[in-house]
Amino acid sequence: MAETERFNKDSRASRRGGGLSLGTIVSLVVLSSVAGLASPLLLDRWMPLVGEQQGRGVPRAQGRDIAFVPFGEIVVNLDDGRLSRYLRVNVTLQVSRNDSTLVEKRIGEKHAILRDWIVGNLSDKTMDDIRGAAGQNRVRREIHDQFNTILFPDGPDRIQEILFEEFNVQ
């Protein structure tokens, strides 16, 4: 009996002093979360200075040397049983300022092909496909990939981003 009591006391004492307390663990989790959330803010303030020191000229926070090439407005019926829903998008392409004339020229040459592809692609979409930011980003990524493939089949991608000036569903 005395031996069992001594074993219980020893095991309780080793449990108390050996591990981290709950308060310490919670504090570490909170501090880690705050540091993770604050790091992008600190990096955005610090990175423009690094860019200027390396001679790149324009700070990253003010944007790169970019240009915007308008593509135009597209209106399509969505894949709805009654064809009562339609989507209207106004698309603009973000490109490097150095590539803007080349992109504008190629879009002028292949505008009908690109527009036909967008109409076909968007006509296959349902409300669930385009709902929310995830749906819009998926559509944006599909247009981005297809435009770069059609306009620059053998070269590097010149279109950086697809921007929606308008994305209305009615």
Ranges of H-type helices in 19-131: 22-53, 100-123, 127-130
pLDDT in tens, 53-70: 444 343 333 456 999 999
Amino acid at site 56: R
Per-residue pLDDT tens over the stretch 112-128: 999 999 999 999 999 99
Both tokens of 156, joined, read 């590097």
Adjacent-strand bridge partners of 166? 90
Q: Mark whether 97 and 153 lie in a shared domain.
A: yes
Least confident of 37-41, 88-92, 100-104, 152-156: 37-41
Domain count within the chain:
2
pLDDT of residue 168: 93
Task: Give the CATH number, domain containing residue 92.
Answer: 3.30.479.30
73 and 151 together in one domain: yes
End-to-end distance of the chain based on CA atoms, in angstroms? Answer: 80
Let me know whether 71 and 109 are in one domain.
yes
- Which range among 8-17, 111-120, 161-170 shows the weakest confidence by mean pLDDT? 8-17
If asked whether residues 70 and 37 sit together in one domain, one would say: no
In a domain, 58, yes or no: no
**Structure token digits, residue 121:** 């692609």
168: CB partners within 8 A, 6+ apart: 87, 88, 89
Residues 155 and 130 grouped into a single domain: yes
pTM, full prediction: 0.62
The pLDDT, as a whole number, for residue 51 is 41
In whole angstroms, give the CA distance from residue 96 to residue 2.
82
Tell me the pLDDT tens digit for each residue of 94-116: 999 999 999 999 999 999 999 99
In a domain, 18, yes or no: yes
Residue 134 backbone phi and psi in degrees, to 5: -65, -40
Which of 138, 122, 127 is closest to 89 using CA atoms?
122
User: What percent of the chain lies above the pLDDT cut of 70?
Assistant: 67
Residue range 32-51, pLDDT digits in tens = 665 666 556 555 544 444 44
Cα distances (angstroms) measured from residue 95 to each of 22, 68, 72? 52, 6, 16
Domain that holds residue 105: 65-169
Q: Does residue 155 sit in the same domain as residue 104?
A: yes
How far is C-alpha 66 from the geometric centre of its chain's CA atoms?
Answer: 18
Q: Assess whether 105 and 147 both reside in one domain.
A: yes
